[in-house]
Amino acid sequence: MTEFAVEFQLPADHRSPVRWVLSHLSRHKFLILMMFLGAFGNAALAAAVPVLLGLAFNAAMSQPEPLKTIGLMSVGILVSQLVRAVLQLGRNFSSAVLGERLERDMRQELYISLLGKDMTFHSLQPVGDTMARATNDVHELNLMLYPGINLVIGSANFLLMPVLLAPGYHWQLLLAPLFFVITYILALIRYLNILSPIADRVRVAFGAMNSRLAEAIDGIEMVKGAAQEHHEVGLFDENAGEYRDSAVEQGKMEARFLPLLLLGITQAIGFAHSLILYRAGFIDVGDVVAYMGLLSLFGFPTFISLMAYSRVSLGLAGARRILELINSKTKLDRNLEGHQAVIDGTIRFEGVTFGYVDGAAVLQDIDFEVPSGKTVALVGQTGSGKSSVAKLVNRTYDVNKGRVMVDGVDVREWNLDTLRRQISIIEQDIFLFARTVAENIAFGVPDASKEMIEGAAKSAQAHEFIMSFKDGYETVVGERGVTLSGGQRQRIALARAFLTKPSILILDDSTSAVDSATEDQIQRAILQTAANQTTILITHRLSQIRWADMVVVLRKGKLEAVGDHRELMERSPAYRRIFEQYEAMES
């Protein structure tokens, strides 16, 4: 687990799903006490009804004027059930609050953990499956508490009452309750052992179905553009069928719940036994009535446990899936005790080798240095590793070998927050949040004033088109900025970068979607700020390459040449070929 997660999350035991749930619940001892007291009081007062009925029945059979006793028993039943209703309310309320707090805390812990994971984890983990775990699986934990565990605790107390009260009529009457309790526990253990893997399959199938749906929706433009709607519906139907089959299998298992049969056997044994004792003169008729009423209490755990233990099993399956994400190892840490300073901007790559997956290096033995305040252009064919170089500077990824140094300090030795706050990177795939334009620009500086936001937008040549919107800076853009053109998204992203006033600015082909006139204006804005920052340009625009202080040429993940434009045109055939290719693209 990353230090980021450790810093913000509540203390929890991650050794197993049960320990994890219990460590969260242990913070709410008062609510747990209320739930247990309410459950015991509810069961005890439920048992009071057959006991009082038995006394009333005996009075009717043996007393010459039984109405007074029967009236007292009636009042006793009324009062006991009123008190029982209050206790039951307290039990249900406390368990419901526990469930909501558990869901809140675990959702927060999962969210914090996900934010602390490195990009390798997020690249390999399907978004739809993550969303299924963060929403549905977390909610299953709520349902596990209420009604699940709430009913389990209640049913356990109902199991207890006949065992405690039956011997009061005759010790032999303990046999039937003991038979039921023992066989019920054995049947329940078998049921849970079979149900647990089925519940796991249900949750996994739901995650796969949700993952496919999220992928299709995220790529809806591609799906429609290729006219593959029917194909995607078929794939989703296949995943939905897997989920349905798993749920049906769970239902079949629940239908074979053995305690339903055990209840009938127990009541038959108990009734026969009590009649024998009555015929022998050991108990009265009212005792037989009360005893059978006590045995009927077993009906609650029998019928309700079918749903309750299913909820518990699904909740634990969800907990296992959530804990799997939280416990997923990540190589990236925030290094809270690491180096903290204002970045001057000198960047050095020393023998850097890097690959997104083991055994597949995209960069090999890269060595170059960018002095503070200089502008460097990274050029090369597609797939040469230009974007990978940029992502190593702010530790989006860590090198496999060698060192990336900022101001002479390995980036892994920097406090990660300090490092990233002073580096802005604008990638080709611009991401905007479904928030206002102002909020998107101020994302890196949440407390920025209106004047600061507008100033950054003007520098990025975005102010004019923003003001053309009906609501100006308060215009809410669609998710990922889909309501804006590519050029508008790029300029908002540039404004966001300008506002942070970074010591290192990385532009990954960030003006590709703007026209030449706008690009010239943006380029002048970049030039104005470049003196106060180190700028890395990943570009094929000749104008940007020419005004860069130095050019780094990459070819197939290796460093081909380093120098300024004029030097490289004279001594680097690889650079000349790339430059000529870029000229052909622009002409």
pLDDT tier for residue 211 given thresholds of 50, 70 and 90: confident
- Which of 209-218, 225-234, 458-467, 511-520 ranks highest by mean pLDDT? 458-467
Topology of domain 14-326, per CATH?
ABC transporter transmembrane region fold (1.20.1560)
Could you report the per-residue pLDDT of 83-99, keeping only the tens digit for each? 999 999 999 999 999 99
Range 439-446 average pLDDT:
89
Is this model's pTM higher than 0.75 or not? no
> pLDDT (tens digit, 9 = 90+) per residue, 147-201?
899 999 999 999 999 999 999 999 999 999 999 999 999 988 888 888 778 878 8
Query: Quick one: which H or E segment has residue 424?
Result: strand 423-426
On average, the pLDDT of the chain sits at 86
Which of the following CATH numbers is that of domain 333-422+535-587: 3.40.50.150, 3.90.190.20, 3.60.21.10, 3.40.50.300?
3.40.50.300
Torsion on CA atoms 467, 473, 477, 482, rounded to nearest 10: 40
Torsion of CA 323, 328, 333, 334, to 10 degrees: -30
pLDDT tier at 421, thresholds 50, 70, 90: confident
Q: What is the pLDDT of residue 530?
A: 63
- List the Cα angle 530/534/536 in 5-degree steps: 95
In the predicted structure, residue 378 carries a pLDDT above the cut 80? yes
Share of the chain above pLDDT 70, in %: 91
Please state the domain extents for the chain: 14-326, 333-422+535-587
pLDDT of 586 over the 80 cut: no
Instruction: Using the predicted structure, report yes or no on whether residue 53 has a pLDDT greater than 90.
Output: yes
> Is the model more confident about 150 or about 222?
150
What is the tally of helices (H) and strands (E) in the chain?
24, 10
Say whether 333-422+535-587 and 14-326 share the same fold. Answer: no
Question: Could you read off the pLDDT of 483-519 as tens digits, one per residue?
Answer: 788 778 888 888 888 888 889 998 887 666 566 666 6
With vertex at residue 54, the alpha carbon angle to CA 51 and CA 59, rounded to the nearest 5 degrees, is: 130
Angle at 267 between CA 265 and CA 272, to 5 degrees: 100
pLDDT of residue 6: 47
Residue 228 has pLDDT above 70, yes or no: yes
Given this model, what pLDDT does residue 343 score? 93
